[in-house]
Amino acid sequence: MTDKLNWDELDFSYTEVPYRWRAYWKDGEWYKAGLETDPQLPIREAAPIVNYGQGVFEGNKAYGTKDGKVVLFRPDEFGERLNRGARRMAMPEVPVEEFVRACKEVVKANRDYVPPYGHNGAAMFIRPMLLGVGDHIQVSAAEEYLFTIYVSPVGPLYKGGLVPHNYIIDHEHDRVAADGTGNIKATANYASTLATAKKIRESGYDDVLYLDPATHTKIDEFSSANFFAIEKDTNKFVTPKSDTVLPSITKKSLLWLAENRLGLEVEEGDIKVDEFDKYAEAGAMGNAAIISPAASVTYKDDRHVFYSETEVGPVSKALYKELTAIQFGEVEAPEGWIVDV
């Protein structure tokens, strides 16, 4: 079946593979953890995830490296973020070592579907989900939970890989509430972005940016990636400091790499929507987005072009290269970032 997959042609879409991981929680403990083959989830119609969105999830990847291994990138960080979400959503935690073991097992079981090294950044997407299940009609936390992970080989999030993209700010809607769940990966955070995403893609934009919900004066983030900008003259790497953005593991990694490997100044601070002129480059960063540079960001009637509409800026390019070289085993990773499957 894998002979049908053309690794170079993969885009960011779902391919069914033979195995998924599931574990079940009831009466205070996890049980029946292991591989399963049915892609259909065992979920009842009265489950809180279906009725009330009691769920958190993750999105990490396994990479086929230059020397033929399969590795995970900072899986413990993804497990810890899932658990921060679990606490906020009144759900039981998945011990981080179990989370990492489950990621490894499900990738190993589907080894033939991990894109080999050297195919336009193709990798195996890993989607862990923690869901409130069981029959529970009241608006209150579930009494049963399902932890499940599916995987799928994927290519780049946006067509064309490392090329500039056109983004637009949704100035009519907020992604999340000011003191809401923006800083965890709650399933419900994504529902509110879908209508705008559909509309803007029909108008030729690649993705939507959201402003901070309290003042609407600063950039917060995209619906599924953080935002960065590179200051003119200094090349300072700046990314929004905000309680309403998801603490991206790609961002955390790029802040470190920018400072320690590229020798750049870094800052988590405000990026005001009326101060785009301060920046030479900008873009999206995330596990799926990797680094997706901005050709332009449109805000109301103003279309601001950053580095170029056709070329990728040198700092974005260098950051992309450093991060992906670590993930695909081309250069040495900082300690603990890369875990063999």
Radius of gyration of the chain (CA): 20
CA distance 108 to 334: 24
| Token pair for 25 | 């929680």
Catalytic residue among 61, 185, 218, 236, which? 185
Binding residues among 219-238 for ligand PLP as defined by CB under 6 A: 221, 224-226
For 124, list phi and psi in degrees, rounded to 5: -100, 115
Interface region with ligand PLP, contact rule CB under 6 A, candidates 230-238, 249-257, 294-302, 311-319: 249-257
| Token pair for 304 | 């601001």
286 touching ligand PLP, by CB under 6 A = yes
Interface region with ligand PLP, contact rule CB under 6 A, candidates 141-149, 217-225, 314-322, 329-337: 217-225
| DSSP character at residue 116 | P
Q: What is the DSSP string of 258-306?
A: HHHTS---EEEE--BTT-GGGEEEEEEEETTTEEEEEEEEEETTEEEE-
255 touching ligand PLP, by CB under 6 A = no
Binding residues among 12-41 for ligand PLP as defined by CB under 6 A: none
| DSSP character at residue 252 | H
Interface region with ligand PLP, contact rule CB under 6 A, candidates 63-71, 117-125, 166-174, 242-250: 242-250
Taking residues 56 to 75 in sequence order and writing x for each that binds ligand PLP by CB under 6 A, - otherwise, the string is ---x----------------
Whose Cβ is closer to ligand PLP: residue 25's or residue 323's? Answer: 323
**Residue type (1 letter), 173:** H
* Closest CB 139 distance from ligand PLP, rounded Å: 25
**Residue type (1 letter), 237:** F
Q: Which member of 250, 292, 316, 327 binds ligand PLP (CB under 6 A)?
A: 250
CA distance 185 to 323: 22
Count of other CB atoms within 10 angstroms of residue 260? 12
Whose Cβ is closer to ligand PLP: residue 114's or residue 245's? Answer: 245
With a CB cutoff of 8 Å and minimum separation 6, the contacts of 288 are 12, 59, 125, 154, 157, 224, 225
* Closest CB 68 distance from ligand PLP, rounded Å: 25
CA distance 255 to 266: 6
Interface region with ligand PLP, contact rule CB under 6 A, candidates 2-10, 248-256, 293-301, 333-341: 248-256
CA distance 299 to 285: 20
| Token pair for 114 | 């991990």
185 is catalytic: yes
94 touching ligand PLP, by CB under 6 A = no
CA distance 268 to 82: 23
Q: Which member of 287, 292, 296, 327 binds ligand PLP (CB under 6 A)?
A: 287
244 touching ligand PLP, by CB under 6 A = no
* Closest CB 247 distance from ligand PLP, rounded Å: 8
Binding residues among 173-192 for ligand PLP as defined by CB under 6 A: 185
248 touching ligand PLP, by CB under 6 A = yes
Whose Cβ is closer to ligand PLP: residue 104's or residue 175's? Answer: 175
Active site residues: 185
Residues that bind ligand PLP (CB under 6 A): 59, 185, 221, 224-226, 246, 248-251, 286-287
